[in-house]
Chain A
Amino acid sequence: MAITIQDVEHIAKLARLRLTEEEKLRFQKELGKIIEYFDQLKKLNTDGVPPTTHVVPLENVLREDAVKPCLSVEEALANAPDRKGNYFRVPKVVEKEG
Chain B
Amino acid sequence: MKLAELKGWELRELIKKGETGCKEAVASFLDEIKKKNKSLNSFLTLTEESALKSAEIVDKKVSQKQKLGALAGIPIAVKDNICLRGVKTTCGSHILDNFVPPYNATVVEKLKKEDAIIIGKTNLDEFAMGSSTENSYFGPSKNPHDLKKVPGGSSGGSAVAVASGLATMALGSDTGGSIRQPAALCGVVGLKPTYGTVSRYGLVAFASSLDQIGPLTKDVKDSALLFGVISGHDPNDSTSLKISSKDYLKTLDSYKTKFKVAVPKEAFGAGNEKDVEEAVKKAIKLMEKLNWSVSEVSLPYMEYAIATYYIIATAEASSNLARYDGVKYGYRSKDSSQLLELYQNTRGEGFGNEVKRRIMLGTYVLSAGYYEAYYGKGQKVRTFIKQDFDNVFKDFDIVIMPTSPTVAFGLGEKIEDPLTMYLSDIFTVSANLAGIPAISIPCGKSKAGLPIGLQILAKPLAEETIFKAAYMLEQNLKT
Query: Is B a genuine binding partner of A?
Result: yes
- State the Cβ distance, A45 to closest chain B Cβ, in Å: 10
- Does B196 lie within 8 Å of A56, measured CB to CB? yes
Of B27-35, B145-153, B180-188, B341-349, the segment with at least 4 beta carbons within 8 Å of chain A is: B341-349
- Does A15 lie within 8 Å of B359, measured CB to CB? yes
Contacts of A54 in B (CB 8 A): 209, 239
Question: Which of A27, A33, A71, A81 is in CB contact (< 8 Å) with B360?
Answer: A27
Shortest Cβ distance from B418 into A: residue: A30
Given contacts A55-B386, A91-B342, contact A19 B361 (CB under 8 A): no
Question: Which of A34, A75, A78, A90 is in CB contact (< 8 Å) with B361?
Answer: A34
- Does B239 lie within 8 Å of A56, measured CB to CB? yes
Shortest Cβ distance from B102 into A: residue: A75
Contacts of B373 in A (CB 8 A): 42
Contacts of A51 in B (CB 8 A): 376, 379-380, 382-383
Given contacts A41-B304, A41-B378, A46-B377, contact A56 B363 (CB under 8 A): no
A1-36 with Cβ < 8 A to chain B: 7-8, 11-12, 14-20, 23, 27, 30-31, 33-35
Contacts of A58 in B (CB 8 A): 196, 238-239, 241
Q: Is B286 in the interface zone, CB < 8 Å from A?
A: no
Contacts of A35 in B (CB 8 A): 361, 364, 374
The DSSP consensus for interface residues of chain A is loop
- Does B241 lie within 8 Å of A16, measured CB to CB? no
- Does B384 lie within 8 Å of A95, measured CB to CB? no
- State the Cβ distance, A52 to closest chain B Cβ, in Å: 4
Q: Is B318 in the interface zone, CB < 8 Å from A?
A: yes
Q: Is B307 in the interface zone, CB < 8 Å from A?
A: yes
- State the Cβ distance, B460 to closest chain A Cβ, in Å: 8
Contacts of A80 in B (CB 8 A): 327-329
* Among A17, A33, A51, A93, residue most surrounded by chain B Cβ atoms (within 10 Å): A17
Question: Which of A20, A27, A82, A92 is in CB contact (< 8 Å) with B332?
Answer: A82
Shortest Cβ distance from A36 into B: residue: B419
Contacts of B100 in A (CB 8 A): 78-79
- Does A12 lie within 8 Å of B435, measured CB to CB? no
Mask of B86-112 contacts with A, CB within 8 angstroms, 1/0: 000000000000111011000000000
Question: Which of B360, B364, B377, B460 is in CB contact (< 8 Å) with A42?
Answer: B377
Shortest Cβ distance from A43 into B: residue: B304
Given contacts A38-B311, A51-B382, A78-B100, contact A17 B348 (CB under 8 A): yes
Question: Which of A15, A33, A71, A91 is in CB contact (< 8 Å) with B336?
Answer: A91
Complex formed: what's the CA distance from A37 to B378 in Å? 13
Q: Is B123 in the interface zone, CB < 8 Å from A?
A: no
Complex formed: what's the CA distance from A89 to B326 in Å? 10
Q: Is B331 in the interface zone, CB < 8 Å from A?
A: yes
Question: Which of A17, A27, A61, A63 is in CB contact (< 8 Å) with B347?
Answer: A17
* Among B99, B345, B364, residue most surrounded by chain A Cβ atoms (within 10 Å): B364
- Does B356 lie within 8 Å of A23, measured CB to CB? yes
- Does A81 lie within 8 Å of B332, measured CB to CB? yes
Shortest Cβ distance from A89 into B: residue: B327
- Does A17 lie within 8 Å of B360, measured CB to CB? yes
A41-81 with Cβ < 8 A to chain B: 41-42, 44, 46, 49-56, 58, 61, 63, 71, 75-76, 78-81
Complex formed: what's the CA distance from A80 to B327 in Å? 7
- State the Cβ distance, B130 to closest chain A Cβ, in Å: 15
Q: What are 21 A-B contacts defined by CB distance under 8 Å?
A: A11-B364, A15-B360, A16-B325, A17-B360, A19-B356, A38-B378, A46-B381, A53-B379, A55-B386, A55-B435, A56-B241, A58-B196, A78-B100, A79-B98, A80-B328, A81-B326, A81-B330, A91-B336, A91-B337, A95-B339, A95-B340
Nearest 10 pairs between A and B by C-beta?
A: A55-B435, A18-B348, A79-B329, A51-B379, A81-B332, A46-B380, A18-B344, A61-B238, A52-B382, A16-B343
